[in-house]
Structure formats: C-alpha cells, structure tokens
Amino acid sequence: MVDFTEPWKRRIAGELNVLLAEAGAAAATAAVDSVSLTAELPPRPEMGDLGFPLFAYAKLLRKGPPQIAALLAQRLAAGTDGGAIGTVSAEGPYLNVRLDRAKAAGAILEETLTKPVGRPGKLSMSRIMVEFSSPNTNKPLHLGHLRNDILGESLSRILAASGAEVRKVCIINDRGIHICKSMLAYKEQGGGKTPESEGIKSDHFVGDWYVIFSRQLKEETETLMRERGLKKEDAEAAAPVLARAQELLRKWEAGDGETRALWKTMNGWTIAGMKATYERTGISFDQYYFESETYLKGKEEILAGLDKGIFYKAADGAVMVDLEAEKLDKKILLRGDGTSIYITQDIGLAIYRNRDWPFDRLVYVVGSEQQYHFKVLFTILGKLGFDWAKNLYHLSYGMVNLPEGKMKSREGTVVDADDLLDSLRDMALEEIREKEREEAVGNPAETAEKIALGALHYFLLSVSPSKDMLFNPTESLSFNGNTGPYLQYMGARISSMLRKAGNSDKAADDAGTAGTNSGPKPDYSLLVSDPEWELLKVLADYDNAVLMAAENMDPSLMGTYLYSLSKAFSRFYHDCPILQAENPELAAARLDLSRAVLRVLKDAFNLVCIPFLETM
C-alpha cells in the first residue's frame, strides 16, 4: 500500500549528501543511498510516526548524532516536500517525522479501496515449491497434521500474494512396515468388512486396524517379557505378529498379487478419506507424490557420487558420506546390501521434483524433530553439485498437544482431525442456539462449521511455527481476545453496519472500483483523531505485513497483523461515531474507512484460511 517512508528517505539522503560534500572531499565519497537509511517507530506516538537514527554518520561528519538531527531538521523544514508529507523534528540522535494526517488519510483510503491489497509483488519471478502434510496411509489425519496443513497452505497463499509462482505438493507415505501393520490386522481379522458396511469414514476405518495391530503387538510383547524375561525392545522384535507384518512387506516388495491388491484397496480407502478432510479444511495440492513410486529414486545419484569420490564405501560395503567437517557426523546412504534408506529417497525425490518443475526454492513443512535430517539432506545435495540446494528451506514447527497430554497413535489416543472439527462445530452450534441466533445466521450448521474452521486455523497459526503449543478447543472458540471467532465477529460487525447504512461493501472486493457511497462525498481530511490515525497506519502497513510473513516464512505474522487491525478498528468503532458522526462528510469518510478495513480483513482471512462470515 502507500509507502510514506521512501519519500522521506530520499529527502534525508539528499540532505545528508549535501552535508557530506560540505564536510570535505573524503566524506563526500561516502554518498548516502536512501536504501541504507533505516526507519523505526518512535517509542511514543507523540514523538511522531517515523524515526531515523543518525549514529552511522557521526564519524563521517565529525558531529554528534543530535547535531546532525538538528541540522537535518532545519534544512528539511525549509525545503520542498518531494512527496514526503509531514513535518520533522530532532529528538536527540533521531530525526523524527510526523506525517500529515489529513493528506495521508486520503492517500491510504484511495489506495486501499481502489487497488489490490496485500500484494507487495517482491517475489515476482520466483518459483517456490512447498511440500506439506506428508501423511501415512495407515491412519487418518490428526491434530498434528492440522498444524502442518495450515502452515503449508497459509504460507503458500502468502508467497503467492507476494508475487511468487507457487506449487503445493504432498508426499503420501504409502509403503513400508507401518502400512503392512494395518493390512495384516485387516487381513487376519477383517472378515470382509468395509467402511460402507461399518458406516465409518474410510480413513478412520483403516486407522482402527492399525490400533488393533498395535494392541496385539503390545499384548504379545508383554507376554514375552513376562514368560521369557526379555527386555521390551527384544520382546517386541520377537513378537509373532510383527514377524507376519514383516513377511507381508517382503511379499509387497516382491510384487505378490494378493498382497498388492489388499494394499491398493486399503490405501484407496485412506486416501479418499484424507482428501475429504483436505476439502473440508480448505487444503489443496497441485501434485501428489507417492512413496511407492519414488522410494527407489536416489540410489543412482548416490552411486554416481561414489564414482566421483564425493562418497566412500565402508568395510561392510555400505556407501557413506563424511560430514564431520560440517559437524553432521558420518551418514550411511546405501546399506551394505545395496538397499536405500530414508534419506536416499529424499535425495532422489528432491532431484526428481526439480527436473519435474524447476524451482528457485523448495520449502519442507516438517516437524522440528527432523531438523538434523534436513541439514544432512541439504548438505548432501550441495555436495552433489546442485546449485539450488542452497535455497532449500526447512519450515520447522513444534508439537501441538491437548490439555490432556501428548497424543499417541499406536495407543489410539490421537485426536483425529475430523473428530476435532466435529467437536468444535458442535460447540459453536450450541453457542448459536444459546444466543438464539439461528434465524439471524441463516444456516446454523454451516455457520458453526465456518466458526470452527476459523477458531482452529487461527489458533494453530497464532504462535511462531518453531514453538510447541497447547491447543485448547474451548479457548479457541472464545469470541473475546485473540481468537478466530473474535476476528470473524469483527468482519460481521462491519458488514452489518454497512448494510444498515445502505453502503454496499461490494467495492471492498473489487480492485479498481471507487466507493459506492451515493450520499455525501467523503472528506478524508477529517480523519485526524488518534483512533482514526492509528487505524489508518495499520491499514497502510498491510502490504509490508504480507511481505514480512513471506520473507520470514512465518504465517503467524499475519495473525499478529489481523489482531492489531481488529483492535485498532474496535477502538475506532468505540471512540468515533460512524453513522451518527457530527457531519455527513465525516460519516461518509468513516464509512469508507470501515469498508477499507473490511476489504483488508477479507483478504487477510483468505491468506490464513479463515472463512469470512457476513452474519454471526
């Protein structure tokens, strides 16, 4: 949006260069570029709106920063504005700028109401691939996946809003011993049951068999520990049910027809259920990759690296890489029998993806427990000579738990995504009924679903990805404080006010459309009170907020911005009469300010996957 900082940077840089020239030829060679100037927010609003520290120029000018600030204030006060609106003052070593509120208000609202918002465009020409979700096909999506999914989806939208061409991809882990565990339990105890015959969502149906297997393995392990005196890990390794699952994996790898048919059926059930959950939560992908199709990739890349001397062969025949210089130890890449390990597959898949869709950057949204893995992966790809390896990024996020404690999928205590959403929806629906708002919202069940999604997504994005978090369903649904429903209510409140005023908010959705006021012409120069000014400044910062979230790979910054905008609007709404303003021109201006807030809210909601509600 409107950048009031850059014109002042140009003016200040110009005056600094004059001072440098006056100080002598040597100093003049150190010309100041406006880019090198930094702007800060003064610690107190009464000091101004922008502050420029001048410590860096003291040595060159042989003057103290306060002297430089005073000189610049004197010179700038006498000069032309050059597009830099406002006045300057010296505050110790800082040159502070107080913007002209009357002029700035018009510029901000004109920009916000007629041009695309939240589109800084700084990442234009960049191709960024984002991998997220990465589910296993032995169980449904759970709360941990929900945090992963919303981080990946929101980041992708933020990057696209910043101008990047984004490709969202998902690797589905559909092979391995964990898949065979569900298959074995169903094969031995399923009796021909299907999701349809049991009336169970298909991915939940498969997940139930994984829990059944895990319980059987636990029982056999405890029996072996008790009867043979084995340690837990030895007893589990010797359990007959685990041996049968491993045999099923060997049959799958050998291409056994019956085993492959069962695998295809059960994977089909899980994937269909997962895609239904993705659709429900607004998550989408441009391409799916399947481990069963990619797990052999990478082996030839490792062997090629061995021939080039990048890797070496150990005494047992294993191919290894020495990363001790990078403080990452030594790492096996191929076992002595020539088979791949997990990192081998990731090496091959990264190379395959780049050939499939050449990217400038690849972002992996994966839990923080895999930090070491990705450091090793990125280092190896760099050693193999792939220049794009330096642009790989691990968006590491912390665990998400419930107040009851840590989730454990093997014990069946995981909170399934669908069950959690159902619970949140039912709680929201009960709130609607208690407040007797069924008729007002139109479709209570649909509204409750949107409130549930807003509560969930905002709560999961409300803290920095790197931090562990505790998800409290009741807190997330509160209509007070820093929550999704509070933000949704703010949007509904503005929509209601605009309807009451007969001031359509359609222009708040269409760039290039002027306001729809049919009454008095708004006078934006009247918007000079503190609450109005603080709200205008937050609006003007929207493009920067989107850019910061993109550059820092941190969607939580959008949550911070949304809450700041909502708080600023709440103060404005409380302190500044809108429909009952003292004159028609001011009322029209405040209505346009409200429409501008609504437009930004809607756009930001989309970036963080919060459904917008016109009525609550």
Q: Give the Cα separation of 304 and 379 in Å (integer).
A: 16
Q: What is the mean pLDDT of the chain?
A: 93
Residues β-bridged to residue 288: 170
- Once rounded to an integer, what is the mean pLDDT over residues 206-233? 96
**Residue 454 is encoded by which pair of tokens?**
């807003």
Question: DSSP secondary structure string, 335-346?
Answer: -TTS-B-HHHHH
Q: Give the Cα separation of 529 and 575 in Å (integer).
A: 10
- Once rounded to an integer, what is the mean pLDDT over residues 443-460? 97
pLDDT score at 519: 75
pLDDT digits (tens, 9 = 90+) for 145-184: 999 999 999 999 999 999 999 999 999 999 999 999 999 9
Burial 515-524 (b: 16+ CB within 10 A, else e): bbbeeeebbb
Q: Checking DSSP bridges between strand 94-98 and strand 392-397, what pairing results, if any?
A: unpaired
Helices in 285-437 by DSSP H: which ranges? Answer: 291-294, 299-307, 342-356, 371-383, 417-434
pLDDT score at 26: 60
pLDDT digits (tens, 9 = 90+) for 343-381: 999 999 999 999 999 999 999 999 999 999 999 999 999
pLDDT digits (tens, 9 = 90+) for 228-268: 999 999 999 999 999 999 999 999 999 999 999 999 999 99
**Residue 281 is encoded by which pair of tokens?**
């939560």
pTM beyond 0.85, yes or no: yes
Tell me the percentage of the chain whose pLDDT exceeds 90.
Answer: 87
Q: Give the Cα separation of 342 and 291 in Å (integer).
A: 10
* Rg (the chain; Cα; Å): 30
Q: Give the Cα separation of 424 and 428 in Å (integer).
A: 6
Neighbours of 361 (CB within 10 A): 18
- Residue 514 above 50 pLDDT? no
- 200 and 190 Cβ atoms separated by less than 8 Å: no
Question: DSSP secondary structure string, 125-168?
Answer: T-EEEEE----BTTS--BHHHHHHHHHHHHHHHHHHHTT-EEEE
C-alpha of 535 from chain center: 25
